[in-house]
Each structure stands twice: as C-alpha cells, then as structure tokens.
Chains A and B, each alone.
Chain A
Amino acid sequence: MQFTSVSFLLFAAVTVGLYFSVPRKRQWWVLLAASYLFYFCAGAEYLIFILYTTCVTYLTARLMQKRADAEDAFVAANRDTMEKSERKAYRAKEKKKRLHILALGLLLGFGMLAVLKYTAFVLTGVNSFLSLFGTARVTIPSLLLPLGISFYTFQSMGYLIDVYRKSVRAEGDFFKLALFVSFFPQLIQGPISRFSSLGNQLFEPHAFDGFSFRAGLCRVVWGFFKKLVVADTAMIAVKELTSNTAEFTGVYVFLLILLYSVQIYGDFTGGIDITIGLSEMLGIKLAENFDRPFSSKSTKEYWRRWHMTMGTWFTDYIFYPLSVSNSMQKLSKWSRAKLGDKVGKRIPVYLATIVTWFLTGLWHGAGLNFIVWGLLNCLVILVSQELQPLYTGFHQKFPRLTASKPWGVWQAVRTFLLMGLIRSLDCYRDVPLTFRLWGTMFTDFQWGTLFCGGLLSFGLDVADWCVILGGVLVIFLVSRLGKTEPVREKLAKRPVLMCLCLCALTVVILLFGAYGIGYDASQFIYNQF
C-alpha cells in the first residue's frame, strides 16, 4: 500500500475516523492495529521481521531496566553504609553488565539488518576477490528485504541505547512498544523518532483538535503535490538520463544533478510531509526532518537541515560515543604525543567523523556508491573545517562582500551544486561511471546541445518542463512565505482560504500529477532504505 495509492487514502481516512470514534484510552490500539495492517499489506512475510525487532527490543530494554532498577534500589538501601567510591564502583560494575545486555540487543537487532541488507553486497565483494585467484564463487542467497527495515531498526536500537543511558524508562507494555516500532505513518521512511518524544504521544488520549487536523491535512495535500507533481515528473527525466549514460554526458550530467535534486527533494520531503501531516491530524507531533536544506550555505549546515533525524541519530549514537570512547581517548593521547597538539587532537575527531559517514553511507544502501557518497560528504566537511581559517581571513578582508545577499546566494548555490554532484552517485549507482561522467562536465560540456532539441530528448516535453519549473517555483515561494510561521499553520487559522487552497491543490495534483498508467508506479526513494 503506497502512500500515493487510493487504497492508502481510504485506509488513512478510515484510521483517522476510527481513531476519533473509539474511547480515547483505546486510541493507541487503533494505531497499533492500523500499523500492523498497513505492514501486512506491504507483505505478510515482513511481519516476522518487525515482530523479531520488537521482541528483541522489548526483552533487552526490560532486562536493562530490571538491572537498573535493582541497582538504584540497592544503592538507595545502602546509601548510609556505602562509601561514595564504593557506590561509584558498584554503579560502574552494573553499567558494564547493562552494557553487555545492550551489546547483545544491538547485535541481534543490527545483526538482522546486516544479514538481510548487506549479505549480497559482502558476498559480491568476496566473489570479486576470489575471482582474482580463479577460485570457486560463493552462491549469493536471495534474501528478503523488509520495507522500512533500516528506519524501524534504527529507531528501536536508538531506544535501547536511551534505556541503557537511563534517558528513558523501558516500556513495560509489549503492545505499546510494538506501536512505537511500527507506527505506520513513519514506518517506511522515517522520521527516526525518539521514544522520549514520541512514546507518550502515541499512548496518551487525543481529543479532536480542529486546528491540528486542518494544519495536518494541508501538509498531507502539500506532500502529495511535491511527490506526485514535482518529484515524479522529474523522475521521468532522471530515469532516462541514468539509463543511457553513453549518450547523456557533459551538460546532461549537470542537468541530472539539478533534476535529481528536485526529484529527491520533492520525493523525500513530500513523503515526510504526508507522514508528519497525517500524524498531526491524529494529534501526534513528529520530529521535523527538514529545514529548508537547499538554502544551506555550507555542507555542515546542509546536513543539519537535511534528514535531520538521521543526522542526529548518527551524531548521538555513533559520533559522540565514539569520540569519547576509551580507545579514542587513548588514541588522542598517543597522537598528541607523537604528532604534536595541532595534528594529534584532530586524529580522533577525524576518525570518528570518517566512521560516522562511512556508516551513514552504508545505511543508505548496500553498495559501493553509497559508501563513496558518505565518504565524499565526509571529505568535504573535513576539508571545509581545515580551510576555516582561510574563510575567516577572507571574511575579515571583505566584510561587506561576505555580508551581502548575493554572497549568501552564491554560498547556497555552491552548496546545492556540491551536494547535488555527490548525490548523483545515488542515481548512477556505479562509482567509476559516475566519476567518468563528472569528468565529461569539464571536458565535453556542450551546453549548446540543450537548445537544439536536447532539453526534450530525455522523456520530458515542454508541458512537463512547465510542470517541473512551476512546481519548483511554488515550493520556493511557499518556503519563503513560511520562514516565520509555516504556511499551513497560517492557513489553518483561516479555514476559508485553507479550503480554497486545498481545492486548488487537489485539482492541480489530479490533473498534473505523474501517476497512473503511462507513468512508472514510483514508490518513495527512501522506502528502499
């Protein structure tokens, strides 16, 4: 059941209707039933995997909680008899035991993800290696990849780490935890939520709130506009440009970078708008995942604004723990002693950054292109960091220029193009080919061909171009208008105007949307992660 299907619309309407019809204490049961039904429709066999993750998460969290409670009780009972140092030692010992439980939980949780998602990738690598020696090849098993597995695994494992850190208490009700893992609007493409912010919202009663409902509805329709009108029209060109790479080189690679940026923005932010909007209609506020990322002036800023929940997940659960880990501390000491303070202090930070970005790439897909994508992002961030004194010097030398609006626009365009360039690894899916095609932009650009029919040679006609450009313009204007307060919230305060906008948008989506026969049924790009 895709978000953009009629069946999903009916499903969502029935769920919302039921949700507000049942006694409020039972609302979360409706969500749980709807979530499992939604996932069942995606594939009955997928249920086994989500149930496995839920069981592993539940049992591990409960075990850790039990130990933590016993630890607290013991310390409280012996507060008078135990020395501070004894308490500290006892707590450290207990923490270590909880760490072992956590490690087991993470191993079981991430283990399933690793097996299902990365076995083929690893074995392909092994086969390539073996082929060098002419040795027999390993058979690559065809494994099922459940929908949204990366999202719900990461969300669940994040919860486990939070329980370990005592940031949240482990949920005692298995079914409530099952809802947290499977909440259907965010199940297949995020955002990756934290139990501390989502847990209670899911289980507490919600009275119907007209304002939230209207604002949510606006956001859902807006998401459909971005996905069906803008992203899926751009996808026609992206597919053609990436399927015929022998012909579409030079200026077409540049066009692909632009069009894929439009596609993935419309696709991913559109999907998240539907997710957050639908949740808002139910009275549940999910974490935002985007904050006008294409206006970012640096790569670092871009990654603070794009797929924010994934970024913070990696920062909180990989980067920081790795940076302050004992082994990193030791490495830091060693490198400072051997290489001096200036270089030495950078080594652990760089290493943690590289590991984080390597894993970020791997999370996006089991392919070399995703790993290179992650590492290139890392490279750009590290190089920018190294060049920071140079930038500061430049800013000090030309304060008026660097404070001007055109300079800001230039920075945003530069970041947009750089991110788009790296992102093209995602759609060409072949690292050497991508590098070669990047090269053609510098050696064989041939922009003139675009105006000799080239613009219409990869699946888009004049009407499609008008739809894409018009759509991008509307998105840009809405983004500008919503700088202080989101447009949907402004509209929700004026129901008549909201109704007019929704009606107009519905007509536009139904007429200009790239859906149905004649268009490829396109699932959301991030569903595959």
Chain B
Amino acid sequence: MKKRIILCICMILVTVILLGFIQALVQPKYMSASREGALIAEYYGEETSHDVLFVGDCEVYESFTPPTLWEEYGITSYIRGSAQQLTWQSYYLLEEILKYETPKVVVFNVLALKYGEPQDEAYNRMTLDGMKLSVTKLKAISASMTEEESFASYLFPLLRFHSRWKELGKEDFTYLFRRDTVSHNGYLMQTEIRGGKAEITPSPLVDDTLPETSMEYLDKMRALCEENGIAFVLIKAPTNDWKYHWYDEWDEQIVAYAEENRLKYYNFIPLADEIGIDWSTDTYDMGVHLNVYGAEKLTSYFGELLVNEFGLESRKNDTALAETWQKKLDAYYAERNN
C-alpha cells in the first residue's frame, strides 16, 4: 500500500515537472521577434540601484537611453516600459520596483492615460508574464485582464500558450532555460532610419476627458512616490505622427493635474526643435517612435533637466558602479555601431 502511494506521488511529481518543462517550451521567448516582450523580466537581472526609473509604454523604452544618461551625466537609470503599458500596469510595476530599490526620480509617460480599460491580450502578456510572481503581479493581472482572458492562464501560462506546440522552432529550444539580454537597461535599440510623417488625419475626440480609471492610477503613482520621497515627473515623448496623436485637450488636463499637485510635466512634442530632433533622420517608423539617434538627443536634453531641476549628481566616482556601466556602454555601442 505504502509503495503504491509513493509510486503515485512520484508519478504526480514527474507529471508536474513534465508540465513545467512543456510550459517553458511553449512560452514565447521574444528573442528575435516582438523583443519588447522580454523587457519586463530583464529588470530582475539588475545588480545596482538606479537614480531614475522610467515607467510607461513604448514611448519610454524607445525615447530614452540609460547608457547616454550615464555617459553624459553619470546618472544611473532604468526603463521599466513595455508595449502599450497601461497606467495601472505602470503603477503596479512601480509598486514592485519599490520593493527592490528607491530611486530619486520616477518618470511616467502620459500617453497611456488615454486608455481607461484593458486593451489587448498580447500586450498584457508582454507586460505581465515578465513580472515575478507576487501579490503585486496578481493585482496587476486582475486590473489588466480583458474579458476573453482567464486569471489561471497567467499563473499557468501553459493554459494560454499550449497551442504553440504546433509552431515550436529552434528559438524555443535554444532559450528554454535562459534568455539573452535584448535591452540596454530597458531601452530597446532601433537603429533604422525611416523618416517622414504618416499621412493620417487624427479623428476628432468623442470624449475629451481622460478616463477616470487611468487618472486614479496616475494619482496612486503620485501618492506612492510622495510616500517614498521620490520626485514624480510626467513627460510626453516627442512624436510626429497623427496615429497616436496627443490631443491638446488631454494635454490641458495633464497640465492642470501637474499644477494642482506641484509636479513637473514636460511635453516634448513642441520642444522637438529645441531638442534638435530631425524627423527625417531621428525616427525609425515615420515619427511614431524615435530611433537611437533621436533617443540620444532627447536623453541629453532630459539629463540636463534632471541635473538642473532635480539636483541629480554624477556617480562616476563610484568605481564599482563605473565598471558596471562601462560594460553596459560597451554593449550599447557594440549594437549601435554594428
């Protein structure tokens, strides 16, 4: 009888291990395609703390380059951005970050405030699957799920990705138990140049008020920063595209919110010329996002603000830190100049 029970327990254990293996196999690896899906998980590999942390959607991980911020100002930074990162996801990521470190400045890109409801399962996955299991992650999942999604599939991604057994490729086996680093402290480099402007006219706003839910989470982020003595900064990354148009009506609400809460808000769209952005060379997708050349210009400009407005100081004198960042810079330039 005892032997039977032990055998059954062993079999169940083997099944669980097998399912774990299968789950690791079928989960998307985001190594060659949709690399932005790998960004969130990379944060856990960081060994040093950061002065500045960025949260937000693609506009943060395409507009600021932490290596440039270090190289020019000796400021350490990390971008906890992901594709179409919704405001509540940014909030929960910030809540998670504060368990690991307390930065001096937190920067939030305001574009995602336009979304008041969960949007897209694929983007949810890219943000949430990368998070380590914690209560914060569970809260983030609960807030983010679209109607078609199930909570269980976030805890056991096999339930979501099982059908990928039909399309397994070499990458799935190569990265079964490890991942390459795809970003530079959360910055996803784009070296391609595709200038110009997409000929799309922005559709008129049906309701010009930013959704209540997203504004609530914005306020929660502000409160969280205040509690932890962190300067909370709002920014709007520069774009030259009508597709993801930032409407004046929205901008006015952010300006009012920043004034009311004594926050700094930088809308970089009208400052593009002052920053030196050339829309014919500094974008890789016709003005929707900056490429590395545009991102470096914006980072230089923003670094100046961080030094002057927030009193951040260079930490280049810290030799251990400088050594770590030198490696990051080497990797950065290796990809940039490749």
Contacts and interface: CB of A to CB of B under 8 A. Distances in A.
A275 B162 CA distance: 26
B121 A513 contact: no
Contacts of B148: 517, 521
Contact of B153 (A461, A511, A516, A521): A516
B106 to A, nearest CB: 33
B144 to A, nearest CB: 14
A516 B8 contact: no
Interface stretch (B15-23, B249-257, B290-298, B299-307): B15-23
Nearest to A500: B11
A521 B147 CA distance: 12
A499 B12 contact: yes
Contact of A495 (B8, B15, B165): B8
A6 B151 CA distance: 9
Given A511-B158, A511-B165, A516-B159, 11 more contacts: A5-B150, A463-B166, A496-B7, A496-B11, A499-B8, A499-B11, A506-B15, A507-B18, A510-B19, A511-B162, A516-B153
Contacts of A507: 15, 18-19, 22
Interface in A479-510: 495-496, 499-500, 503, 506-507, 510
Contacts of A503: 11-12, 14-15
A499 B149 CA distance: 31
Interface string B142-179: 00000011101100001110110110000000000000
Which range holds the interface residue count of chain A? 20 to 34
Interface string B238-267: 000000000000000000000000000000
Nearest to B18: A507
Given A496-B7, A517-B121, A510 B158 contact: yes
A513 B165 CA distance: 11
B4 interface: yes
* Range for the number of chain B residues in contact with chain A: 20 to 34
Nearest to A504: B15
A464 B165 CA distance: 11
A407 interface: no
A510 B8 contact: no
Given A499-B7, A500-B11, A510-B158, A518 B163 contact: yes
B8 A496 contact: yes
Interface string A299-340: 000000000000000000000000000000000000000000
Contact of A6 (B15, B19, B26, B152): B152
B162 A513 contact: yes
A6 B12 contact: no
Nearest to B6: A496
Contacts of A463: 165-166
Interface in A1-43: 5-6
A512 interface: yes
B22 A516 contact: no
A74 interface: no
Interface string A457-478: 0000101100000000000000
A500 B8 CA distance: 8
Contacts of A517: 121, 148-149, 153, 160
A174 interface: no
Ordered nearest first, which 4 A-B pairs have the shortest CB separation?
A503-B15, A6-B152, A499-B8, A463-B166
A512 to B, nearest CB: 7
A175 interface: no
A519 B11 contact: no
Contacts of A521: 148
